[in-house]
Amino acid sequence: MNNTKVDFYFSQNEKWQKETRKLRTIILDCQLTEELKWGTPCYTYQKNNIVLIHDFKEYCALLFFKGALLKDTEAVLIQQSANVQLARQIRFKNLHQIIKLEPVLKKYIYQAVEVEKAGVKFEFKKTEDFETAAEFQKKLDDNPDLKTAFEALTPGRQKAYKLFFSAPKQSKTRESRVEKSIPKILIGKGLND
């Protein structure tokens, strides 16, 4: 059943209006509960997130929260970036693609519900499994106070810094990011604090 708190979403983006409305119909036909989370339509089963609809400039998509645990027999699931561990998308560039894939979408939605019911767990990478940029490692090795402060950060904050420092291709950019972040690390702040 449509949740009136979500209705606005399906009229705001004219470019993907037909596509997102069709996705909504398909998902609601699978008996999920429609909610508004993160400003976007999110569909749940017994209060657990299953799938959401979101749109971008070049495409609209279904995002399966536990997509990595689904059997992708149709090879349609996409990992958004190397750092996304569990979620997977199915992307669409037109209404015809959605109509053509409707049976597959329903199959994947039901499969996602079964994964949720079964309580299947995903083994996330630990913070130490993420690459530490050489430029940052050198600073950690040379500055015991920095090392202590970094290790005192929450795992999520450590991961954010590691990803931020290792992302640039040029060493000069990595060094600059490390230098600018050292004061925040020393006072126990995360990258986005």
> Cβ contacts of residue 153 below 8 Å, gap of 6+?
161, 185, 188, 190
Q: Average model confidence (pLDDT) for the chain? A: 91
Last residue of some domain: 118, 141, 170? 118
Residues 156 and 138 grouped into a single domain:
yes
Residue 78, pLDDT > 80, answer yes
- In terms of average pLDDT, the best of 7-16, 30-39, 115-124, 127-136 is 30-39
Residues 166 and 99 grouped into a single domain:
no
Residues 152 and 179 grouped into a single domain:
yes
**Structural domains counted in the chain:** 2
Residue 148, pLDDT > 80, answer yes
Which has the closest alpha carbon to 87: 119, 49, 30? 49
Q: Measuring CA to CA, how many Å separate 78 from each of 62, 82, 89, 188?
A: 10, 11, 5, 35
Residues 98 and 62 grouped into a single domain:
yes
Residues 42 and 63 grouped into a single domain:
yes
Residue 129, pLDDT > 90, answer no
**How far apart are alpha carbons 160 and 149 in whole angstroms?**
15
Residues 104 and 173 grouped into a single domain:
no
**How far apart are alpha carbons 178 and 172 in whole angstroms?**
10
Percent of the chain at pLDDT exceeding 70: 98
**Is the Cβ–Cβ distance between 64 and 72 less than 8 Å?**
no
pLDDT for res 45:
96
In a domain, 3, yes or no: no
Residues 24 and 66 grouped into a single domain:
yes
Residues 145 and 67 grouped into a single domain:
no
Residues 147 and 178 grouped into a single domain:
yes
Q: Are strands 40-45 and 33-37 parallel, antiparallel or unpaired?
A: antiparallel
The CATH number of the domain holding residue 101 is 3.90.1150
Residue 33's Cβ-count burial label (10 Å; 0-12, 13-18, 19+) is middle
Confidence label for 153 from pLDDT (cuts 50, 70 and 90): very high
The residue type at 174: R
**Is the Cβ–Cβ distance between 180 and 173 less than 8 Å?**
no
Confidence label for 25 from pLDDT (cuts 50, 70 and 90): very high
Lowest mean pLDDT: which of 4-8, 25-29, 78-82, 136-140? 78-82
**How far apart are alpha carbons 123 and 135 in whole angstroms?**
29
**Is the Cβ–Cβ distance between 37 and 31 less than 8 Å?**
no
The DSSP 8-state label assigned to residue 32 in this structure reads: P
pLDDT per position as a tens digit, 50-69: 999 999 999 999 999 999 99
Which has the closest alpha carbon to 43: 85, 6, 92? 6
Residue 108, pLDDT > 70, answer yes
Residue 123, pLDDT > 80, answer no
Residues 76 and 136 grouped into a single domain:
no
Confidence label for 136 from pLDDT (cuts 50, 70 and 90): very high
Alpha-helical segments (H) within the chain: 9-12, 17-28, 95-118, 134-142, 144-152, 155-166, 171-186
Domain residue limits at 67: 9-118
**How far apart are alpha carbons 77 and 54 in whole angstroms?**
15
Confidence label for 124 from pLDDT (cuts 50, 70 and 90): low
